[in-house]
Structure 1
Amino acid sequence: MLQIGDQAPDFTLKTTTGDSFRLSEQRGQRAIVLYFYPKDDTPGCTAEACSFRDQYQDFQDLGAEVVGVSSDSEASHQKFTQKHRLPFPLLADAGGQVRKLYEVPRALLGLLPGRVTFVIDKEGTIRYIFNSMNRATDHVETAKKVLAELNQA
């Protein structure tokens, strides 16, 4: 499993707009809150995404971009984004290659993709990892606290 202090692995995935998102292109610009979630439009994932949406300005004020990743298709992400007015990109990780790269464990006896959030600083270093399938909205609060602490350092 990746550890705090490790360099975040680089990747490129498609966004809901069809553009490519490359993590290394964000270095030097802003911190990234990279959250992996199981599936669009399920109760826990919707609560998590809407919590990130509702507090998105706080993340912007803390100098961070929120980015969601699941194995759902670009079309599914587009519907999910439109339905819930999500202001941040969702990335389509078909086949789960980035999930594997980040060593995100499966949950519920290996039946579901896991829910893990990484806070990555401007230099591309992992500063925090939060792994909890059941506490979906806690990912949001915890990420904000970590970013606030990083900004004070």
Structure 2
Amino acid sequence: MKSPILKLLLLLALPALSFKNIDNSRAKRLEVGDPVPQFALYDQNNKLFDVKNEIGKHILVIYFYPKDESMVCTKEACSFRDSFNDFTAAGAKVIGINSGTVASHKAFSEHYKLPFTLLSDPGNKVNDLFGVKSVFFMTGRETYVIGLDGKVAFKYGAMMQGKEHVDQALQYIKNAKK
């Protein structure tokens, strides 16, 4: 009699025990007004991108996404592609980041003709600097708008609404320009 109940309790508790990495509560979450963390990562062309060289030159739209070629991530990336001219006209530079390899980013970029920078973050070190929360076994999906002053001006998070990240970031930038 106890055995089925214990098995059920174990099955219900197992996900919480298995996903101990989903609790990023110890990592500081970047908030509006915080300075962007300093980082340098390689892009899809194996060129080093150093954020300190971009501060003051462009508004930065930095978005973290779980995986190249996945359904929601592809929809998000293609939405950024389709709105790329609007971001550029507003003085913004779009940058996607995840733990995928330079080669994976190159293939993803070429497959969908993505005109913006994709950065490889092995080990999710930059992801952790921003305090992006993981959801179950995947890294999170969050977008940050970094102002010319190098501080977070806007942030948006929604795991399953990739296109909303694009819409929200672009709307924020357009409203801030008024």
Instruction: Indicate the residue corresponding to 2:52 in structure 1.
Output: 24
Counterpart of 1:143, as a letter, is: A
- How far off is 1:151 after superposition? 1.4
Q: Could you tell me which of 138, 144, 154 is aligned with 1:128?
A: 154
Query: Which structure: greater helix fraction?
Result: 2
Please tell me whether residue 89 in structure 1 is matched to residue 117 in structure 2.
yes
Say how many residue pairs are matched. 150
Q: Could you tell me how far apart the structure 2 residues matched to 1:4 and 1:149 are? A: 16
Distance (Å, rounded) in 2 between the aligned partners of 1:27 and 1:112: 29
Deviations 1:34-87 (Å, cap 9, x if unpaired)?
Answer: 000000000000000000000100000000000000100000000000000000
Structure 1 gaps of 5+ residues are none
- Structure 1 ranges of 4+ moved more than 3 A: none
**Residue 70 of structure 1 pairs with residue 98 of structure 2:** yes
Where structure 2 has 5 or more consecutive residues not aligned to the other structure, the ranges are 1-28
- 1:104-149 CA distances to partner (integer Å, 9 max, x unpaired)? 0001xx3111000000011111011111101110000000011112
Q: Percent identity?
A: 37
More strand by share: 1
Instruction: Give me the TM-score of the superposition, normalised by structure 2.
Output: 0.83
Decide which structure has the larger Cα Rg and report it.
2
* 1:114 aligned residue (140, 149, 170): 140
1:10 aligned to which of 33, 38, 42 = 38
User: In 2, distance between residues paired with 1:81 and 1:2?
Assistant: 27
Name the counterpart of 2:64: 36
Query: Residue 3 of structure 2 aligns with which residue?
Result: none
Please give the TM-score of this superposition, normalised by the length of structure 1. 0.96
Q: Could you tell me how far apart the structure 2 residues matched to 1:121 and 1:33 are?
A: 9
Match of 2:76 in 1: 48
